[in-house]
Amino acid sequence: MRYDIRLTIDYDYAAPSDHARNILRLLPSDGPRQRVVSRMLTISPLPDDRRDGVDFFGNATSSVGWHQPIKRARFQVQARAERLAEAELDLSPPLADLGAALAATGLGPTSPQHFRAPSPRIPGIEAITAFARAALPPAPTARQAVQAVGQALHGAMTFDATATDVATPPDQAFAARRGVCQDFAQIMIAGLRAIGLPAGYVSGFLRTNPPPGQPRLEGVDAMHAWVSAWCGPDQGWVEYDPTNAQWAGQDYITVAMGRDYGDVAPVRGAIRTAGGHDSRHSVDVLPIGDAP
């Protein structure tokens, strides 16, 4: 499936920000499940300093800075990308055997080693560990375990855009059983890591309008987040969206993957300003396929 993607993020600063500097992770990249036909990131006011690069995990980054104070900033993405179809096969070992398979993995960017331990925004949380254990069927494969935890979480949590914000830690969101895609993803990651499944945080886009006859998904109004989990050397990484309780298939375009939100934050910034800021997002992800 091919998509045209448009994203606009606006920031308004209460007071002019001196020497503002941001790292942006907004552009999708080629990967095993997707091909990027074209992509462009436009920034205004035009930064005095911009360097595009790739971070440790292979995500596209733009590091931008302004030398003069700015009152607002706008980031616009235009991209065309294709999500590849994928067979739903379970090639993963029993969950109990996953540890042995890990021994042969190194320190490369996609190695599961980076995704095993608690990370800055996703510590080990006992309540989530217990929840994940309880969600498992007897003797699951790794892939079955991912689905089981994701489905159980979807059943236990209520989508609520007002209950949490970007800084809410997963234990709080889990205690309230409410949150948005970021909370769903971070809680699921905590659960998967606790049962021995390496898991990472994926940011990206979700098709805006569902195919005819299917319900509209949660998370289409802004950038979306879901989970990537490592299911052994044969299966590799699988992606699951706990917010919508489904495998992240053809309706999804990946932008970045990391250990938690901190690694993939779309706009990570350092501003020197007396006041706070407001921000607005808008996203359109439209299929282009055969019919224009």
Partner 1 sequence: MTLSVAALDLPGILAGYTPLPGVADELFQSNGQMRPVWASFIQALAALPPEDLAARFARGEQYLRDAGVYFRLYSGGPVQDREWPLSHVPVLMSETDWATICDGLTQRADLLEQVMADLYGPATLVRDGHLPAELVAQNPQWLRPMVGVKPRSGHYLHHLAFEIGRSPDGSFLVLADRTQAPSGSGFALENRMATSRIFSDPFPRSHVRRLAGFFRTFRDTMEGLSGEGRRMAILTPGPNNDAYYEHTYIARYLGLTLLEGEDLIVENGQTMVRTVQGLEPVGLLWRRIDSDFADPLELNEVSQIGTPGLMGALRDGNLSLINALGAGVLEARAFMAFLPRLCRVLTGGPVKLPNIATWWCGQPAERAHVQQNAARMMIAGAMDTTLPFAAGSDPVGGAQNDLGLTLADWLARDGAMLVGQEAVTLSTTPVFSEGRMVPRPMTIRVFATRTETGWAFMPGGYARIGKAEAATALAMQAGGSVADVWVMADRPVPPETLVSRAAFERSPPGILPSRAADNLYWLGRYVERTEGAIRLLRAYHLRLAETGDPSDSLLQELALFLKKLGLGPDVPIPDTLNDLVSAARNAAAKVRDRFSPDGWHALNDLAKTARMLAEKVTAGDDAAMAMSVLLRKISAFSGLVHENMYHFAGWRFLSLGRAQERADGMLTMVQAFADPEASAGAYEIAIEVGDSVMTHQRRYRFGPSRETVMDLLVQDAQNPRSVLYQISQMRDLVAALPRSGPSGQLGALERALLTLDTDLRVAEAADLTAPRVTDLRNRLAQVFDLLSRQYFR
- Interaction of residue 177 with partner 1, rule CB under 8 A: no
In the structure encoding, which two tokens stand for residue 25, read together?
Answer: 């992770």
Q: For partner 1, which residue of 25, 33, 83, 116 counts as binding (CB under 8 A)?
A: 116
Residue among 49 and 278 whose Cβ is closer to partner 1: 49
Q: Is 179 left (phi over 0), alpha (psi -120 to 50) or beta?
A: left
Number of helices and strands (H, E) in the chain?
Answer: 7, 14
Residue among 196 and 249 whose Cβ is closer to partner 1: 196
Q: For partner 1, which residue of 37, 45, 48, 90 counts as binding (CB under 8 A)?
A: 48
- Interaction of residue 51 with partner 1, rule CB under 8 A: yes
DSSP codes joined into one string, 182-230: HHHHHHHHHHHHHTT--EEEEEEEE-SSPPTTSPPPTT-SS-EEEEEEE
Residue among 269 and 287 whose Cβ is closer to partner 1: 269
- Cα–chain center distance at 38: 21
- Interaction of residue 134 with partner 1, rule CB under 8 A: no
Q: Please choose, out of 9-17, 48-56, 72-80, 173-181, the segment that lies near partner 1 by the rule CB under 8 A.
A: 48-56
In the structure encoding, which two tokens stand for residue 168, read together?
Answer: 């809410």
Q: For partner 1, which residue of 14, 40, 67, 137 counts as binding (CB under 8 A)?
A: 67
Q: Tell me the chain's radius of gyration from C-alpha atoms.
A: 19
| Residues engaged in binding partner 1 (CB under 8 A) | 18-19, 21-23, 48-49, 51, 53, 55-57, 63, 65, 67, 105-107, 111, 113-114, 116-117, 120, 262, 265, 268-270
